[in-house]
Amino acid sequence: MAYDKFNILTSTAVPLPLENVDTDQIIPARFLKATKREGFGDNLFRDWRYNNDGSPKKDFILNNPIYSGKILVGGKNFGSGSSREHAAWAVYDYGFRCVVSSFFADIFRNNCLNVGVLPVQVSAEFSEQIFNAIYDDPNTEIEINLPEQTITILSTGAKESFDINSYKKDNMLNGFDDIDYLQSMKSDIESFANGLLL
Amino acid sequence: MSKTLFDKVWDSHVVRKIEGGPDVFFIDRHFIHEVTSPVAFLGLKSRGLSVLYPERTFATADHNTPTINQHLPVEDPLSANQLKALEDNSNEYGISHWGLGHQKNGIVHVVGPENGITFPGATIVCGDSHTSTHGAFGAIAFGIGTSEVEMVLSTQCIMQPKPKKMRINVNGNLSKGVTPKDVALYIISQLTTSGATGYFVEYAGDVFENMTMEGRMTVCNLSIEMGARGGMIAPDETTFAYLKGKPLSLKGDAWDKAVAYWKTLKTDADATFDKELTFNASDIEPMITYGTNPGMGMGISKHIPNAEAVEGGVATYKKSLEYMGYHEDDAMIGKPVDYVFLGSCTNGRIEDFRAFASIVKGRKKADNVTAWLVPGSHEVEALIKEEGILDIITKAGFELRQPGCSACLAMNDDKVPAGKYAVSTSNRNFEGRQGPGSRTLLASPLVAAAAAVTGVVTDPRDLL
């Protein structure tokens, strides 16, 4: 699926300092019944965001107009649990282009990279600095520089570099996905398959 | 060079290594279901791609299917639409489809092994994190996202960096009333839900060697709950005996040849792991969870730990207990139970029903408990009847439902109401997992049975 290219993103950020945020919270299973990739952002964090009657829960961060932006800053072990790519779609569809955490669950991280959301893993200390900076001033901007692989808190100048493998980095910079690559090597795949026992 | 079991299977499936990037990884067997495949097929269509090897993909409907009156049309239009999409897409691309009502229909991770689709040394994926189940056969099996489902359909490959390797040894003998589910919940409680993230696990030691295939599947199934992409157990005579004669297993000379190869699939004596952990079987008692992730589990006779005693953030921990309506230092024994769920890809196999029956036999379901007993497949359902288990549970006041994922993720009508407590043999106790506001206590089929007949959390050893 095509997604927007990612280069340098400068934005305010939304803090969600809870640990072990699982994909059932990011999007509950009962909202996985679509057969198209549309509208998942409306149900992002559905049960934390809305009461049963559909009214917004005032104390949830996404309902607080003070915080907004294209970056979601989560706590440790973000995205654990189910492999549902719908969780990454919901994050993207809501308008986030980057999720920052001190630790990501594997499948969620992979899914993000496949749908155009950049997962940026930072140290626990830097994660704390980001939360503090946002709480001090919700208008604090964060710069995510993919070519340089750095994340900077612009108000304090604090900066850290992050890892991403060069293949995935190239994909994100150009808006490519893995299917483009795999299609280009189909004859290699077919000769490999021909050599298999089962 | 010495290799682990994981290395042997992984390395033999790498089509190409990308410098500074992932491996192009070949997939032998691919399972699809109604929830995570429709958008992958849409992707294929929009790119004008075909399915490269339809005979390597198997479709089954399980996630949102009803568990009663399966002969009637599915009432929920959205679920019906997804089931129709799975059927239409399978037909269009020549993929075998075991839809609702088909005699082979059931939970993907139950029907795959029982039909011999799963085999040692295979690479197996599905858009479902509990695909790790198939690792019980010495396969590399893990969950993928929908973009990757599209990749497998169109090229039979995905692009994956090779994970690190961890070995978890459990030695000694399990005590009475301690099941494979307890072993897994114990390991997760020791590692936390992120303790194995970035790793692929091999389970080794007496406990796994002595386990049945059903038990091994339960353990490997739960690998994802400690963050591991998957877990595997070296194939042995137990594995071969299980697979021999299954509908899609190899036959004759081809079988013998395969077994000779499968016997080489074990970790070399001097191979090394990035991390190795060892536990004693005698330290494990029947387990139960008290919080909102599978790492928040403990021996059923223990008290809920203090926030200061656990690893991780105090705020997150307290929020979790608040959701559950529990307090630090509470005992779990005697806590009220409203629902009991026996089933899921974790514990929906015949052995789980045998265990449940062993406790409810000659007893009665507690009046305050609503129980959902959901077999993992029609084959499990048939065995339940054949072995006389249906008689036992019926006499005890229980009903048997029809196969599916059911209350594990509550996509169908099997939802635990807000605020109610469910002792569940499934795999996740996340907030709202079994229905908005539901509260889940993960446990073994024995603990579930003990709760079902007493109406409160009960140590199953008292009833055995």
pLDDT tens-digit series, residues A124-141: 999 999 999 999 999 999
Q: Is residue B284 part of a domain?
A: no
Q: Is residue A67 part of a domain?
A: yes
Question: What SS3 class is residue B179?
Answer: coil
Interface test with A, best of B33, B146, B415 (most A CBs within 10 A): B146
Chain segment B281-326, per-residue pLDDT in tens: 999 999 999 999 999 999 999 999 999 888 778 999 999 999 999 9
Q: Is residue A160 part of a domain?
A: yes
Report CA-CA distances (Å) from B101 to A143, B70, B72.
54, 7, 10
Q: Is residue B108 part of a domain?
A: yes
Could you give the CA distance from residue B356 to residue B389 in angstroms, rounded to a whole number?
A: 9
- Partners of B50 on chain A (C-beta within 8 Å) are none
Residue contact B18–A22, C-beta within 8 A: no
3-state helix, strand, coil in chain A (%, to 5): 35, 20, 45
Last residue of a domain, one of B116, B145, B160: B160
Domain with B364 in it: 293-462
Q: Is residue B380 part of a domain?
A: yes
Closest CA to B227 of A42, A105, A184, A9: A105
Of A80, A83, A189, the CB nearest to B156: A189
Q: Is residue B173 part of a domain?
A: no
Percent of chain B with pLDDT over 90: 98
Q: Is residue B207 part of a domain?
A: no
Q: List the single residue in A with minimal CA-CA distance to B29.
A: A198
Decide if A66 contacts A59 (C-beta within 8 A). no
Mean local confidence (pLDDT), B371-391: 98
Strands B230-232 and B199-204: parallel
Q: Please give the pLDDT value at position B328.
A: 97
Residue contact A185–B42, C-beta within 8 A: no
Give the contacts of B48 (CB within 8 A, at least 6 positions apart). none
Of B193, B410, B436, the CB nearest to A80: B193
User: Helices (H), strands (E): how many in chain B?
Assistant: 16, 18
Report CA-CA distances (Å) from A133 to A139, B45, B49.
9, 46, 47
Residue contact B43–A179, C-beta within 8 A: yes
- Partners of B81 on chain A (C-beta within 8 Å) are 33, 35
Chain segment B121-176, per-residue pLDDT in tens: 999 999 999 999 999 999 999 999 999 999 999 999 999 999 999 999 999 999 99
Percent of chain A with pLDDT over 70: 99
pLDDT band at B426; cut points 50, 70, 90: very high
Q: Do B306 and B452 fall within a single domain?
A: yes
Closest CA to B82 of B40, B30, B29: B40
Q: Please give the pLDDT value at position A1.
A: 59
Last residue of a domain, one of B132, B160, B188: B160
Interface test with A, best of B119, B128, B159 (most A CBs within 10 A): B159
Could you give the CA distance from residue B87 to residue B81 in angstroms, rounded to a whole number?
A: 10
Q: Is the pLDDT of residue B329 over 90?
A: yes
Q: Is the pLDDT of residue A2 over 80?
A: no
Q: Is residue A150 part of a domain?
A: yes
Mean local confidence (pLDDT), A23-47: 96
Q: Is residue A2 part of a domain?
A: no
Element spanning B123, H or E: strand B123-126
Interface test with B, best of A3, A16, A19 (most B CBs within 10 A): A19
Domain with A158 in it: 8-194
Q: Please give the pLDDT value at position B81.
A: 97
Mean local confidence (pLDDT), B83-99: 98
Chain segment B233-281, per-residue pLDDT in tens: 999 999 999 999 999 999 999 999 999 999 999 999 999 999 999 999 9
Q: Please give the pLDDT value at position B192.
A: 95
Q: Is residue B214 part of a domain?
A: no
Residue contact A19–B313, C-beta within 8 A: yes
Q: Is residue A171 part of a domain?
A: yes
Helices (H), chain A: 23-26, 46-49, 86-94, 106-115, 124-136, 166-174, 178-183, 186-194
CATH of the domain at B77: 3.30.499.10
Q: Is residue A1 part of a domain?
A: no
Count of domains forming chain A: 1
Q: Is residue A173 part of a domain?
A: yes
Q: Please give the pLDDT value at position B171.
A: 98
Q: Please give the pLDDT value at position B312.
A: 75
Q: Is residue A64 part of a domain?
A: yes
Count of domains forming chain B: 2
CATH of the domain at A128: 3.20.19.10
Q: Please give the pLDDT value at position B299.
A: 98
Last residue of a domain, one of B141, B160, B179: B160
Q: Is the pLDDT of residue B366 over 90?
A: yes
Q: List the single residue in A with minimal CA-CA distance to B127.
A: A83
Q: Is residue B285 part of a domain?
A: no
Residue contact B313–A111, C-beta within 8 A: no
Residue contact A37–B42, C-beta within 8 A: yes
Q: Is residue B222 part of a domain?
A: no
**Average pLDDT along chain B:** 97
